[in-house]
Amino acid sequence: MRDAYTVELDAIFEDLAGISRQVRTAVKDATQALLTGDSSIAERVISEDAQIDSAREKVEENAFSLLSLQQPVAGDLRTVVAALRMVAELERMGDLSVHVAKIARLRVPDIAIPAEVRPTVERMATVAEDMVARVTDVIAGRDVEAAIALGRDDEEMDQLRRRSFTELLSDDWSHGVEAAVDIALLGRYYERIADHAVSVANRVVFVVTGHNPAPAA
């Protein structure tokens, strides 16, 4: 019975890693739609979000089943509760990717990103996608060291967010309010994806060690 229970707990983490992979694809594709003005890619990101939602429901059903049938205690209870919180954050990362795709779709046939801020937005997208990829590995391997490193590396995203505000508030900005709002929202979306990745990584640390990681200095 105990072996079967362990298998079920492991299966939940495998499903979480699978959702994280789906989120990475969503972030990558939403960014491609944003930078190319490709409405078909944007539509795909939006429609495929339903798959992430369904995967979340599966994890929740399995977790609640374990809670009701097995009545886990101590470390096992910690694992199940953390999984429920992690899957909610992963789904939110998928939703944020949809928001990026919707901005891309809204501006078609134009591209939402003015040329002078494109490097900043591209880098934000790259950092966000990298953090999702890394958190996938953290979940799959329950890798505490990698999880802690991910939290420390979030500073670049914060710097990029500040740079994007500097660019759109510059006296040289000539693209109007609409473009400025787009850039402000996109910066927020990518920043929140990164924040959720760090939060998921921190929950993995808690599952493995029983302690929350110390905040970066």
Report domain extents, the chain. Answer: 2-209
pLDDT at 158 over 60: yes
Asked if pLDDT for residue 2 goes beyond 70, the answer is no
pLDDT higher than threshold 80 for residue 71: no
The answer to whether the peptide bond before residue 119 is cis (omega within 30 degrees of 0) is no
The answer to whether the CB of 182 falls within 8 A of the CB of 37 is no
Residue 217 has what pLDDT?
A: 46
Quote the distance between the C-alpha of residue 124 and its chain's center. Answer: 13
The two structure tokens encoding residue 67? 């809670």
Cβ contact 184:120 at 8 Å: no
List the alpha helices (DSSP H) in the chain.
2-36, 39-69, 74-107, 118-141, 144-152, 155-168, 176-209
CATH number among 3.40.50.1220, 1.20.58.220, 3.10.20.30, 3.30.479.30, domain 2-209: 1.20.58.220
- R_g over Cα of the chain: 19
pTM: 0.93
CA–CA distances in Å: residue 10 to residues 80, 87, 156: 10, 14, 33
CB 206 within 8 A of CB 139: no
| Cα–Cα dist 196/11, whole Å | 22
pLDDT for residue 62 is more than 50: yes
Which band of pLDDT confidence, cut at 50, 70 and 90, is reported for residue 33? very high
Question: According to the per-residue pLDDT averaged within each range, which of 26-40, 72-86, 170-184 is highest?
Answer: 26-40
Task: List, for residues 169-214, the tens digit of each pLDDT value.
Answer: 888 899 999 999 999 999 999 999 999 999 999 999 999 998 887 6
Look at 67-71, 96-100, 124-128, 192-196 and tell me which has the smallest mean pLDDT. 67-71
Quick one: what percent of the chain has pLDDT higher than 90? 78
Q: Please provide the average confidence, as pLDDT, over all residues in the chain.
A: 92
**10 has a pLDDT exceeding 70:** yes
- Please give the C-alpha separations between residue 115 and each of 41, 43, 189, in angstroms, as whole numbers: 21, 24, 20
Confidence class for position 77, pLDDT limits 50, 70, 90: confident
Considering only 25-29, 71-75, 196-200, which range has the smallest mean pLDDT?
71-75
Residue 212: count of CB within 10 angstroms of its CB? 10
d(CA 82, CA 87): 9
